[in-house]
Each structure stands twice: as C-alpha cells, then as structure tokens.
Structure 1
Amino acid sequence: MAAMDARGIDPRALLAVLVTHEHTDHISGLRVLLKKLRIPLYATAEVLERLRWDGVIAPDQEAFTVEAGRPFSVGSLVIDGFDTPHDSVHSVGYRVQTPDGRRVAVATDMGYISDGVASVLTGCDLVMIESNYESGMLSVCDYPYYLKRRIASNLGHLSNDGCAKELTRLVRTGSTRFILGHLSENSNTPEMAYQSALTALTQCGMHEGRDFLLQVARRSAPSEMVTL
C-alpha cells in the first residue's frame, strides 16, 4: 500500500490481485491487502488451496481459479496465465493484453525458459523477466549447498546468463522493453544483472535506446512507472 502511495496510485483503483505462487516472498502482505480492499484474488487451484489451508486468505475471500492457456478478463484487460518451471505447488506467470492490443508479460521464478514460456513471451511489447543470480556469486555466497543446488536447478531461478540469452531472442522477435526482476540480494547485484543483459544485446548488434529499453526493478522500493 505504501508503495502505491509513493507512486500516486489510489489502492481503491485496483480491480484484483493475481498471485504467481505461494512462496512467502510473493504473498507477504496479501492477507492485509485483501482485507482492506475487498477485491478478487486470482491464482491456480493448487495455490488457492494452499493459501486457504495456511490461513493466508479468509474462507469467504472471493477467488477465481487460473488455468494455464485459458484467458480471463479483469476489467478491460485480457490475461493469460502460463506455467513456469519452479519448485512450488504450482507456479505461473501472467501475460496481460490491453484493449488496443499491447501485451505485457511478467515471468519470474523459473529455472529455465521452457518452450511454453518462450512462446508466451514472444511478441510482447514489455517483458518483466527474472534475472535472479550471477553464477559466480552464487557459488561463493554463504547459502548452504542444498540451497545453491536448488536455485541453480531447472526448478529454481533464472540466472543472469539465462535471462540475457532469452532477451537476445526476444529483441529479435519484436520485443523492445525489458525490466529485469527478482534479483537476489546475496548472489546478484543490479549492476551485474544489467551489464549481463546489455552485453548480450549489444553483442548481437542491438543498441540501447534505439532497439530496446532496459531497466532493473528495485528490490525493496517502488520502481519507476512505465507507460506503454
């Protein structure tokens, strides 16, 4: 709520909340938000069940089930949920289409870019994509070994290199605006994530400001507003 206030957004303008999965870093504050605003919640059946079981959402919370590949509408927006490979009960990203046909995708928490994810992201005007860790930093950070293996697995998170590789594909297929998100505090830095993506894009002949726009989402503060 404070983040919305900081950007001049009236929380009462929110029409719904879309949840990607049930991990704590994605649902912190959800209970309070839903209680205050009384708006619908969208999530997969597995995630809704877990949220109810854990008492995160009230028994009478208005909730709708998201199924990958089955679009739904919130106000004038058409939204597609798509599966992302991650070690949760069910993890999805979302692609949102505006009435004039512009498309925005949010794709985080995925160990790799699956064919399904790649298909959904192709042609989007704006893509927020995970750039979670830098491989060298992950190998020497103070995480326990099992956690390092989990993060780097196909059901973990997307590395800077994996993100950069996907960006070079996306820019060639027409996407021009990218936001790097879900950066680890312990195994990445905004500068490393940005430089990894920028280097990959420039090496394939693209120029920032002409062929693409690139920014990094802030970890713990509101990022700049983006206008399509």
Structure 2
Amino acid sequence: MARFCTLFSGSSGNSTYIAASDSAVLVDAGRSCKQLLAAMESRGIEPRSIGAVLVTHEHTDHVSGLRVLLKKLGVPLYATPEVLERLRWDGVLVPGQEAHPVAAGERMTVGSLVIDSFDTPHDSAHSVGYRVETPDGRRLAVATDMGYISDSVAQMLRGCDLVMLESNYEPGMLSACDYPYYLKRRIASNTGHLSNEVCAQELIELVRTGSTRFVLGHLSQNSNTPENAYQASYCALTAGGMREGIDFTLTVASRSGPSEMVVL
C-alpha cells in the first residue's frame, strides 16, 4: 500500500508526504514547522513515522521550515551536494545535522522505500525531482520547478502510478499580472516553471504510457487559478479520447493546506 498527500503546494510553500506501510518521507519543507506538523496531524500522519526529508532545491518555498523541522523530527536530510552547500551557507543546515548528498540519477533507500532522483531544469543551485517506489511496486513521482520537460524527466515519469506535475502558470495571466518584466521572463524561461498547457500535453503522454493518477502542483498565486490548471489538463486529456475516472484521475493540490490522502 502506498500513500500520497501534499501538505502544501504552491508559490508560497511546498511539502509532500509519501509513504508505504512501514516507511515515509517528506519531499521539501517550505512552510513553518508548526504549519507542517498541523497539516500532518489533520491527515493522521504520525511525525515519528517520517524517516527522512528529501529536498528538491534551496528556494525558500521549499526549505523555509526545514531547519526547525529537522531538529523536531531528528531525521536525516537528502539533497544534492550543491544544495547542501547552499543550505549550510544560509544557516539552514546546522552543524551536527545528518545530511546525505544525492547525485541526480542516484538510487537510495529510506526504510523500505526505493528513491530515484532526477535533474529538473530550474534556476537554482541544483534542482531535482524524486520518484519513490514502495515494496508492493507502486511508483509515485514529484516533478515540479522546471522550465521544460526534458527527455530524462519524461523517462522517469513514464509508468508511474501517480505523478504530481507542476502546472504553475497560465500565460495570459502571467502576461497581465503585476510581476516585473524580468520575473515574468524568468518564470516563462527554460529554467523557470511549467505552464498549464505544457503540463497538460505531458499528461497525455503519461496516460499513453500507463500512468493514471495525476496531481497538479506548485500553482502560482498570482498567475494561475486551480480552475484554470484543472481545465487545461482535463480538456487536453478528454480531447485526446481519455476518460476521467476510467483512464485517469485528476486533482489540484491545495496551496493553503493539506490535500486529501491518496491511497494506492
């Protein structure tokens, strides 16, 4: 049995819970420790069950609660060497904290979970996504914060039972919002974020290669809405002849709190 739950997902903070029956990890800790613990409690997640925190990259919306949470849970941290160095420099990773460097493409284990990391093209020290396999063969992936879907990312997502994929912005809303021009260019660049349309097209390929459960994540607060993200993917999938509830399920991760627990 596998379990998946986004605790927070969006431009204001990200954290995702992935578990098997006897092991669990958090991917990112981008809200305060107090908020993360409250989110876990609301979904019946026992903090002592968490075996590690995996960090995708060092941006604030992924690590703002990390230092306090690691101290509270007493668990190891996994991240790329570049990100670990940046976290040390910023005072997030304190002396004595157990930390393990992760090379993109490397396989590791946390309890009974087998975890693969993969590069994601993003303007950070080094950004990665994670694919987690449970003992019963379920595969779940978190793939956010990337300007485009590279061949290597696509390969890692193929055949996963559940994929959380970034659906960050709607181009018209991004163009019209009050972000400064340089920030709009950054978001829409090849090292920025995925638009609703790019995300939607990738979901079609994922259904064709065996994936069925999708969570749209990391939505922008200023240049997207849950309705826009959902409709872009739903319309693309149904236009491709795919049926909701039969060929796929589609949900949008909550920005402000935990989404419903998905049990596979």
Output the amino acid matched with 1:6.
Answer: S
Q: How far, CA to CA, are the matches of 1:8 and 1:125 in structure 2?
A: 23
Q: Could you give the per-residue CA deviations for residues 28-65 of structure 1, whole angstroms, max 9, x where no partner exists?
A: 11111011111000000000000011100111100111
1:212 aligned to which of 248, 251, 257 = 248
Output the amino acid matched with 1:55.
Answer: G
Find the counterpart in structure 2 of residue 180 from structure 1. Answer: 216
Find the counterpart in structure 2 of residue 17 from structure 1. Answer: 53
TM-score (norm 2): 0.86
Find the counterpart in structure 2 of residue 141 from structure 1. Answer: 177
Q: How far, CA to CA, are the matches of 2:102 and 2:114 in structure 1?
A: 13
Q: How far, CA to CA, are the matches of 1:133 and 1:223 in structure 2?
A: 20
- Secondary structure at the aligned position of 1:68 is classed as coil
Q: How far, CA to CA, are the matches of 1:91 and 1:68 in structure 2?
A: 9
Find the counterpart in structure 2 of residue 126 from structure 1. Answer: 162
Q: How far, CA to CA, are the matches of 2:105 and 2:209 in structure 1?
A: 21
Q: How far, CA to CA, are the matches of 1:187 and 1:22 in structure 2?
A: 22
Q: Could you give the per-residue CA deviations for residues 107-150 of structure 1, whole angstroms, max 9, x where no partner exists?
A: 00000000010000001000000000000000000000000000
Q: How far, CA to CA, are the matches of 1:160 and 1:150 in structure 2?
A: 16
Tell which deviates more after alignment, 142-151 or 66-75: 66-75
Give 1:52-67 correspondences, 5 Å limit.
52-67=88-103
TM-score (norm 1): 0.99
Q: How far, CA to CA, are the matches of 1:70 and 1:144 in structure 2?
A: 38
Give the C-alpha shift of residue 210 in structure 1: 0.7
Q: Structure 1: give runs of 5+ residues left out of the alignment.
A: none
Q: Structure 2: give runs of 5+ residues left out of the alignment.
A: 1-36
Aligned length: 228
1:192 aligned to which of 228, 253, 257 = 228
Q: How far, CA to CA, are the matches of 1:192 and 1:169 in structure 2?
A: 20
Query: Larger RCO: Structure 1 or Structure 2 (Cα < 8 Å, ≥ 6 residues apart)?
Result: 2
Q: How far, CA to CA, are the matches of 2:73 and 2:257 in structure 1?
A: 21
Give the share of equivalent positions with the same residue, in percent. 76
Q: Does 1:34 align with 2:67?
A: no
Segments of 4+ in structure 1 off by > 6 A?
none
Q: Could you give the per-residue CA deviations for residues 198-227 of structure 1, whole angstroms, max 9, x where no partner exists?
A: 000000000100100000000011110010
Give 1:106-117 correspondences, 5 Å limit.
106-117=142-153
**Larger strand share, 1 or 2:** 2
Find the counterpart in structure 1 of residue 28 from structure 2. Answer: none
Q: Could you give the per-residue CA deviations for residues 139-184 of structure 1, whole angstroms, max 9, x where no partner exists?
A: 0000000000000000000000000010000001100000000000
Q: How far, CA to CA, are the matches of 2:90 and 2:187 in structure 1?
A: 24
Q: How far, CA to CA, are the matches of 2:200 and 2:242 in structure 1?
A: 13
Find the counterpart in structure 2 of residue 157 from structure 1. Answer: 193
RMSD: 0.5
Q: How far, CA to CA, are the matches of 1:155 and 1:54 in structure 2?
A: 22
